Structure 1
Amino acid sequence: MPTDPILRRLRGAAALTLTATVLTACGPDATPAQPAAPTDDATHRGHAAADAATPTEQRRPVPRLVTTYDGGLLVLDAESLEQVADIPLDGYNRLNPVGDDRHLAVSTTGGFQILDVGTWGDEHGDHAHHYTAPPTLTGGALDAEIPGHVVVHDGRTAFFDDGTGRITVVDSRKASAPDADARVLDSAHAHHGVAVGGDDGHVVSTLGDTDSRTGLLVRDSVGAEVTRTDKCPGVHGEAAARDALVFGCEDGAVVYSGGRFSKLEAPDAYGRIGNQAGSPVSAVVLGDYKTDENAELERPERVSLMDTEELTLRLVDLPASYSFRSLGRGPQGEALVLGTDGRLHVIDPDAGDLVRSIDVIDPWTEPVEWKDPRPTLYVRGGTAYITEPVARRVLSVDLATGAIVADATLPHAPDELTGVGGDSPGGHS
């Protein structure tokens, strides 16, 4: 495997990211976006940002949500849930935060495009000014044959091209800049993978090829191999705990902490964890859990809790099944699961107890095709946002009280969902 990093300048292009936050999440072993024809050198396309409208100064930060639909992107005010913009974009599109709290990476045909969500802050010593502007696709893109996972961690944004195995890492604060420095590393083979960058220059990435995925590799700031593990068959997804990273396997999970890998064995011979949700205030990572290797679609009724300090894995029974877009974390590290019974289940991650269940939407059935819309959970601070595609609905829930704060009907059935806060310095437009 090549180990030397290649430092490239993203001239005339915009660099992008993923949260895992979740994590956004990815369908089980699925290709995240439609493949595009390979470019000659698989480098970056030109940045052709639309003319920016004069920004409007606001009294306070204005958080916004973005949801995909079949044929475009809807931008919503995160407090009122009123529509801010409807941006047409053909194809099956996916969303990832870029790490600057203003822009999103849109996985689409040909690579990752940048969406300027149009809300940001400028700090001036002891105070800040906050602005909004119309959301726009900037025209900048990171070329990718098959745009895959994007991960923001330790102030670094790493995104993975499944079609080539190429990993690109940038400073999250400059992720949308047309001339941001980028570090590019290659995988030995193209595969559906993921990479995570650290503030010490280390990069953790998956090992595999088009037939299988076997483990993980760590490289340092000059590209030299630090360590690896081959004890994670079917490796998929990642999440960050307080001081560790967790990667799902078909027989449990692997924890990376303190410069070493540790295996968490599943209690079943086939115990697949493929989607996870972490919290910076908790040592425990929430994961899904499946045991039927041959199922076309398994509808599990247990989730996994992986303690990255005690190096334990426990399972928690739920009163309903859930999907790969059902996992989230609350402000105190609460483990949240949106069930097919229409309730948001709240789990104490340390005790492993189901604390309460909040009625939010009608009962639903997970579709067999992973690209079909299904209810989706997105959490920001103390608010949980939940979609109900069949009703073209989105609602917000106060996690402290369980009360529904806002509820809106949309012009299109919502699919993926994420957002930005508009509080941090907004990077480059």
Structure 2
Amino acid sequence: MTFRRTSPRTPPRASRKAARRTRTALPCSVLAGCALLVGCQGGTDATGSSKSAASATTSPSASAQPHGYVEGAEEASEQQSRLVLADAGTGTVKVLDLITEDVTSLRDSDDVQGLRTDGRFAYLNASGGTRVVDTGAWTVDHGDHVHYYRAAIRDVGTVAGTDASRVHSDQAVTALSSAQGDARLLDRKKLEDGTVPRGRTLTGTDGGPVVPYAEHLLVTATGAGKDTVEVRDRKGARVTTLKETCAQVRGEAVTRRGVVFGCADGALLVSEDKGTFEAEKIPYGTAVKASDRAVDFRHRAGSTTLAARSGDDAVWVLDVTDRSWTRIATGPVVAANTAGEGAPLLALGRDGVLTAYDIDTEKSVARKELLAKGTGSASVEVDSTRAYVNDAAARKVYEIDYNDRLRLARTFPLGFAPTYMVETGR
């Protein structure tokens, strides 16, 4: 299979805001990358599992292994991005390696209804439960430096009877939760070893999202009013209840400054410092109809700038660092995303046109006709230099350089309809 390339990947332009804002080093507990944090001195391995340096390898001399060594994985000098693609009609599931352009075919999956990722694993909602695919690409963020890894792509198995409409992981636990029931907690190390653990059910969640964070679990939709956020230990026991509430919680995202939950009156930012959890409300600042609130946050992994559709004709941008909301009138939109500070908002319209907006001015700065008019659904995935848009009708995926006026960098013809798409390796 041959893909069309118009130019190589290039680094992003410097952020305009970066020159205006003095950076403060953040504690490890509020880094989104700590979900996969490893101990450089041997406290944890590069998959995030607790083990000593001596047990991290079968070699007699662990000290002979290079820093960041992971058995069975290759360390790379750049992010190893891969796209997981699924056809809702035929059940076709494939992984596209964006570095090598190789396509790996996996077994078909009946009745695919959704696709999620935690940065390494892909989770397909299908008949009979949630299917787990190890994409073999992930990033480990130590705060002062980063490791990139690639390994074999493999099917792990199926979590029977579980609908994973939300998936979040840290170094020890993966939480699968849905709006219909309780959450299922899986042993992360067993997933990394290639098996699906039986897991255990976390009760009392009432269908709210559950997010592993700072060696605890953030559990929403609890309490009499179903607007309370609890901090629990990894066994499910309550540690504390946050003072700030979050009514009608919908939508969540893990950022470098903490975990964001979407509430009826804005967002709730939960952070941790030295074992103490705090919650801060970021209100909309104006009355917002239920149909116009942000309920599905999209962002580049670790970024503190989030995008979410607002009703039928606008997109919310939440700047977590500045604690501010911006509502940009985009017209009818199918999907939206942003790479973060200094990058444009990317909005894919129902007319098939991808538009870039300057978030500061709220003005359109570039347009690119991509999909056929009347497109029903698509995704916009972003990383540090590129955006990816799936075109199910044309059976293609487009790679966009959002720093160069939405230049079409590569086109990937696939031979099947990529109804669902997620990017891993981040």
What's the TM-score, normalizing by structure 2?
0.66
Aligned ranges 1:35-184 → 2 under 5 Å = 63-70=81-88, 71-79=91-99, 81=101, 83-99=103-119, 101=120, 103-118=121-136, 133=152, 135-139=153-157, 141-152=158-169, 157-168=174-185, 170-171=187-188, 175-177=191-193
Aligned ranges 1:288-299 → 2 under 5 Å = 288-290=309-311
Counterpart residue type for residue 412 of structure 1: F
Inter-partner Cα distance in structure 1 for 2:76 and 2:303: 33
Instruction: Give the C-alpha shift of residue 280 in structure 1.
Output: 6.3
Asked if the contact 2:307–2:336 (Cα under 8 Å) also holds between the matched residues in 1, the reply is no
Instruction: Give the C-alpha shift of residue 416 in structure 1.
Output: 1.2
1:178-214: CA deviations, max 9, x gaps? 68999856342643x3111112x332222179xx994
2:352 maps to which of 326, 329, 342? 342
| Cα distance, 1:347–1:174 mapped onto 2, change above 3 Å | farther
Instruction: Give the C-alpha shift of residue 408 in structure 1.
Output: 2.5
| Cα distance, 1:307–1:120 mapped onto 2, change above 3 Å | closer
Inter-partner Cα distance in structure 2 for 1:127 and 1:362: 35
Name the residue aligned to 1:306. 318
Corresponding residue SS for 2:133 = strand
| Cα distance, 1:244–1:93 mapped onto 2, change above 3 Å | same
| Cα distance, 1:154–1:284 mapped onto 2, change above 3 Å | farther
Number of positions where the alignment pairs a residue of Structure 1 with one of Structure 2 = 339
Question: Are 1:321 and 2:324 an aligned pair?
Answer: no
Inter-partner Cα distance in structure 2 for 1:175 and 1:58: 20
| Cα distance, 1:348–1:158 mapped onto 2, change above 3 Å | farther
Name the residue aligned to 2:423. 419
1:335-359: CA deviations, max 9, x gaps? 332223433333444x253352241
Name the residue aligned to 2:395. 392
2:250 maps to which of 211, 236, 243? 236
Counterpart residue type for residue 362 of structure 1: L
1:4-47: CA deviations, max 9, x gaps? xxxxxxxxxxxxxxxx99xxxxxxxxxxxxxxxxxxxxxxxxxx
Counterpart residue type for residue 356 of structure 1: V
Instruction: Give the C-alpha shift of residue 104 in structure 1.
Output: 2.1
Inter-partner Cα distance in structure 2 for 1:399 and 1:311: 25
Name the residue aligned to 2:213. 198
Counterpart residue type for residue 392 of structure 1: R
Instruction: Give the C-alpha shift of residue 73 in structure 1.
Output: 0.6
| Cα distance, 1:238–1:121 mapped onto 2, change above 3 Å | closer
Corresponding residue SS for 1:88 = coil
Name the residue aligned to 1:353. 362
| Cα distance, 1:151–1:347 mapped onto 2, change above 3 Å | farther
Counterpart residue type for residue 123 of structure 2: A
Instruction: Give the C-alpha shift of residue 288 in structure 1.
Output: 1.7
Inter-partner Cα distance in structure 2 for 1:60 and 1:144: 39
1:403 maps to which of 407, 413, 416? 407
| Cα distance, 1:306–1:154 mapped onto 2, change above 3 Å | farther
Inter-partner Cα distance in structure 2 for 1:382 and 1:94: 26
Aligned ranges 1:179-258 → 2 under 5 Å = 186-188=202-204, 190-191=206-207, 193-199=208-214, 201-207=215-221, 214-221=226-233, 222-227=237-242, 229-233=244-248, 235-257=249-271
Inter-partner Cα distance in structure 2 for 1:327 and 1:243: 19
Name the residue aligned to 1:264. 283
| Cα distance, 1:176–1:246 mapped onto 2, change above 3 Å | same
Asked if the contact 1:240–1:285 (Cα under 8 Å) also holds between the matched residues in 2, the reply is no
Inter-partner Cα distance in structure 1 for 2:364 and 2:154: 41
Instruction: Give the C-alpha shift of residue 105 in structure 1.
Output: 2.4
Counterpart residue type for residue 93 of structure 2: L
1:353-382: CA deviations, max 9, x gaps? 335224150353353xxxxxx222112331
Asked if the contact 2:269–2:282 (Cα under 8 Å) also holds between the matched residues in 1, the reply is yes
Name the residue aligned to 2:42. none
| Cα distance, 1:111–1:394 mapped onto 2, change above 3 Å | same
Name the residue aligned to 1:36. none
Counterpart residue type for residue 69 of structure 1: D
Corresponding residue SS for 1:326 = strand
RMSD over aligned Cα atoms: 4.0
Counterpart residue type for residue 329 of structure 2: D
Instruction: Give the C-alpha shift of residue 231 in structure 1.
Output: 4.1
Counterpart residue type for residue 98 of structure 2: A
Asked if the contact 2:318–2:326 (Cα under 8 Å) also holds between the matched residues in 1, the reply is yes
Corresponding residue SS for 2:333 = coil
Structure 2 residue ranges without an equivalent (≥5): 1-31, 34-71, 272-276
Name the residue aligned to 2:373. 364
| Cα distance, 1:279–1:362 mapped onto 2, change above 3 Å | closer
Inter-partner Cα distance in structure 1 for 2:367 and 2:263: 30
Asked if the contact 2:134–2:155 (Cα under 8 Å) also holds between the matched residues in 1, the reply is yes
Counterpart residue type for residue 232 of structure 1: A
What's the TM-score, normalizing by structure 1?
0.65
Corresponding residue SS for 1:277 = coil
Inter-partner Cα distance in structure 2 for 1:121 and 1:229: 33
Name the residue aligned to 2:13. none
Inter-partner Cα distance in structure 2 for 1:137 and 1:180: 10
Amino-acid identity (%):
19
Inter-partner Cα distance in structure 2 for 1:105 and 1:398: 27
